Amino acid sequence: MQTLSPERLKELELKANDVREGIIRSLVAAGSGHSAGSLDMADVFTALYGFLARNDAKNPEWPDRDRILLSCGHIAPVRYSVMANFGYFPVEELLTLRKFGTRLQGHPERVSLPAVETTSGPLGEGLAQGTGMALSAKMDNKDWRVYVVTSDAEHECGLHWEAAMTAGKFKLDNLMCIIDRNFIQIDGSTEDVMPLEPLADKYRAFNWEVFECDGNDMREFIETAERAKAFKGKPQVIIAHTVPGKGVSYMEGDYTWHGKPPTKDQGEKALAELEANRQRILANA
């Protein structure tokens, strides 16, 4: 288990702030895209690329890398921003989001960027893909892990639960599902549209080991994920409770930001808030 020093924690928190700035800039440039989920998963993706997962931006197709899958492809801006901020491609390219001919399509394409791993779009498919990868690693006696980031609303899809059942059967302890538990989808609250609770009990019934944490607290998420990685004999799920639109006050908790971008003026306001947050992080020595 890795040790998270105060210095490393601050670096990761600053990086997550950079990731959020990249998300805002790319969404404003595109004039379309998904804001709320992209912003609330900045901490989780920063922790994955910057601390938890084995990866190398200089060697993105490294055979022994951990596989990081984004099942809910509509929050692609967070994946693109974190990959750019960790050196997979130039940060300036974020401004091409959703443009004709760009590598940064509205949903990630496996062949467009190195180590994107899967083409995602249809909700519910990510855990099935990740289960297949984790099973193949077991069959080949490889020690790399598979991380699958999912939305809570895509748990309304039947394919997801078929994959959960399969992963439990084969005891894929090299597989971790991370749920963005922000309680929103495009039409409102998940609990109004199609209630998911008791979500943790459902996973336990499918023979998964369940962990819960604050997905917007970098330290808490990393410590939870490290405990989950150490668990043997079952796949692990982390129910990461997040605030949709995290980091931008006028978006936080508002489901209407699920599928729309900020305007130029709104973007400038968001960037000002994120700069103020950067100064707070730096001041907290």
The band of 2, judged by pLDDT with boundaries at 50, 70 and 90, is confident
The pLDDT, as a whole number, for residue 205 is 98
Average pLDDT over residues 251-262: 96
pLDDT at 280 over 70: yes
CATH number of the domain where residue 199 is located: 3.40.50.970
The band of 16, judged by pLDDT with boundaries at 50, 70 and 90, is very high
pLDDT at 168 over 70: yes
Percent of the chain surpassing pLDDT 90: 96
Number of Cβ within 10 Å of residue 73's Cβ equals: 24
Query: In total, how many domains does the chain have?
Result: 1
Average pLDDT over residues 119-147: 96
pLDDT at 42 over 70: yes
pLDDT tens string 142-160 = 999 999 999 999 999 999 9
The pLDDT, as a whole number, for residue 3 is 81
What phi, psi does 165 have (nearest 5°)? -65, -40
Spell 264-276 as b/e; 16+ CB within 10 A means b.
eebbebbbebbee
pLDDT at 9 over 90: yes
Is 1 among the domain residues?
no
The pLDDT, as a whole number, for residue 165 is 98
Mean pLDDT for all residues in the chain: 96
pLDDT at 1 over 80: no
pLDDT tens string 214-226 = 999 999 999 999 9
Rounded CA-CA distance 41/242 in Å is 8
pLDDT at 127 over 80: yes
CA dihedral in degrees (84, 85, 91, 93; nearest 10)? Answer: 20
Is 197 among the domain residues?
yes
User: H helices then E strands: how many in the chain?
Assistant: 10, 7
The band of 285, judged by pLDDT with boundaries at 50, 70 and 90, is low
Is 85 among the domain residues?
yes
Q: Which domain holds residue 162?
A: 6-283
Percent of the chain surpassing pLDDT 70: 99
pLDDT at 50 over 80: yes
pLDDT at 167 over 70: yes
User: Regarding beta strands 146-151 and 236-241, do their DSSP bridges make them parallel or antiparallel, or are they unpaired?
Assistant: unpaired
Number of Cβ within 10 Å of residue 214's Cβ equals: 15
The band of 284, judged by pLDDT with boundaries at 50, 70 and 90, is confident
Is 151 among the domain residues?
yes
